[in-house]
Chains A and B, each alone.
Chain A
Amino acid sequence: MKLSARDINENSTWQEMTLGGEIYEPATSKLVNTGAWRTNTPVLDVAKCRHCLMCVPYCPDSSLPVLYGRLVGVDYYHCKGCGICAEVCSFGAITMKEGGEV
């Protein structure tokens, strides 16, 4: 029987869980809303962003998605609001806003 992380939760019975805790599908952590942890929120000013992408590798949460060489926004479902991206940005394109709300 194929079991997906999507279907496994704290109410799953032992018959409904994978043997030995193995997971045989990639990157299931994407299902987790770590964005709810945020106490501060990065706000991207698209007009100021030069798409230098310097902020991208510094993000511990892979939450600054890049498409065709351009920063396309912030993944707020996962961003924990550490503020590193705002600190790294040389153009003032990312600022931190108080609170977790987008």
Chain B
Amino acid sequence: MNYNDRLSGNEAIAFAMKQIDPDVMAAFPITPSTEIPQYFAQYVANGEVNTEYVPVESEHSSMSACIGAQAAGARAVTATSSAGLALMYEMMYVASSSRLPITLACVNRALTGPININNDHSDSMGIRDAGWIQIYAENNQEAYDNFLQAMPIGEHPDVRLPVMICQDGFITSHALENITLLDTESVKAFVGEYNPENYLLKKENPLAIGPYDLGCHYMEHKIQQAESMKFAKERILEVAAEFEKISGRKYGLFEEYQMEDAEVALVLIGSSAGTAKAAVEELREQGVKAGLIKIRVFRPFPAEEIAEALKNVKAVAIMDKAESFSAQGGPLFAEVRSALYDLESRPKAVGYVYGLGGRDITPQHFQGVYGRLLDIAKGGDLGPVYTHLGQRG
């Protein structure tokens, strides 16, 4: 039975974890994700969950402990942000290459330096190629819903990959919103039990994990990961369909907003979509055929599907909330522009880097972007494809 409550994004994630009641949580506090282990530690202290809570001495150790726990046959979760995720970098690869479906709640925050606690996507984008499934939320409801879908996706025997559920630091993590929760019984039934075929504590046979691979085996193991990541796209949609049945809420690889007849469009990730939608509505009222694509799944990247969704658009702006210092645009821009390459007739594409370190973005900013796209659509000059938005000077 669904019911309504008012929760912050962090509370929503902690509550989802409580409903799932994982075997092990290992976490180290870092703003803005700190509340998640705090709430969860209180659940443990109150006996509301059966979880072993491991208060590790660093994020490197939280991921290491999660790897050990998941390999042992347990369901392991953690939460982190920014520098915490960066400190995990090496272990993120170990988790995915060991094929351990750990779930990580990432509360996106700018990477140091200079140190900054506000939101952008430089943390999870920096680790985008570590072999983790990455799913992003626009709001608290999506953060909650995505977290519940993580384990059925990652634990599928043909996927066996870790999953990162991302939401925007402070913007959603600390803001209260009305959200609809599932009852715990439905959550437990939906998420199911974790029953890996082999695990360290299995009685019938031992398991050795984490070998040294010579050149003759390493590439084959990487291809296995790559093949599973390809399959994950199908599994994400399957799980979304199952989730819709119990929640009534529909999810895909990305959300298309006013895209049916759109001539100009934005592609972006996360909470900025709410602001951008307001801009789209205003433009629609003025008769402008504006649309929006909000990426939900960044890894695996839904390239073909995005190309299909954008094929009739005349001009598109791809908005990155992370710098990649490639000197030619952010990571989302690179992915989307590459996805468009195979289209017979492609929209013109420009990239923007915006919102770094929590820099505010308003409907007016987006209207300005749409204005530029309309000029380009009419045959105007494309101009520089890599620019920033919202900065001074």
- Chain A interfacial positions (CB closer than 8 Å to B): 10, 12-14, 17, 19-26
Contact = CB atoms under 8 A, between A and B. Distances in A.
Interface in B60-107: 97-100
Given A17-B217, A20-B99, A25-B206, 8 more contacts: A12-B217, A14-B224, A19-B160, A20-B160, A22-B98, A22-B99, A23-B211, A25-B205
B326 to A, nearest CB: 31
Nearest to A5: B208
B207 A23 contact: yes
A14 B98 contact: no
Contacts of A21: 97-98, 209-211, 213, 217, 221
B221 A20 contact: yes
Contacts, number: 52
Given A14-B221, A14-B223, A14-B224, A20 B209 contact: yes
B232 to A, nearest CB: 14
Contact of B206 (A13, A19, A24): A24
A25 B207 CA distance: 7
B205 A26 contact: yes
Nearest to A20: B99
Interface residues of B, number: 22
A24 B224 CA distance: 18
A19 B216 contact: no
B285 interface: no
B227 interface: yes
Nearest to B157: A19
A25 to B, nearest CB: 6
B224 A23 contact: no
18 contacts: A12-B220, A13-B220, A14-B220, A14-B227, A17-B217, A17-B221, A17-B224, A20-B97, A20-B98, A20-B209, A21-B98, A21-B210, A21-B211, A21-B221, A22-B207, A23-B208, A24-B206, A24-B208
Q: Which of B98, B208, B221 has the most CB of A within 10 A?
A: B208
List 5 A-B pairs, minimum CB-CB distance, nearest first: A20-B99, A10-B216, A14-B220, A24-B198, A21-B211
Contacts of A24: 198, 205-208
Contacts of A26: 205-206
Contact of B209 (A13, A14, A22, A25): A22
Interface in B171-215: 198, 205-211, 213-214
A47 B122 CA distance: 73
Nearest to A10: B216
A13 B99 CA distance: 18
Contacts of B216: 10
A21 B318 CA distance: 38
Contacts of B198: 22, 24
Nearest to B225: A20
A12 B213 CA distance: 13
A24 B211 CA distance: 12
Given A14-B227, A17-B224, A22 B208 contact: yes
B84 to A, nearest CB: 25
A5 to B, nearest CB: 10
A19 B205 contact: no
Q: Which of B210, B217, B223 has the most CB of A within 10 A?
A: B217
Q: Which of A12, A13, A17, A22 has the most CB of B within 10 A?
A: A22
A22 B160 CA distance: 13
B163 to A, nearest CB: 16
Nearest to A9: B216
Nearest to A12: B220
B374 to A, nearest CB: 48
Contacts of B211: 21, 23
Interface string B378-390: 0000000000000
Contacts of A23: 207-208, 211
A21 B224 CA distance: 10
Nearest to B227: A14
A51 B220 CA distance: 48
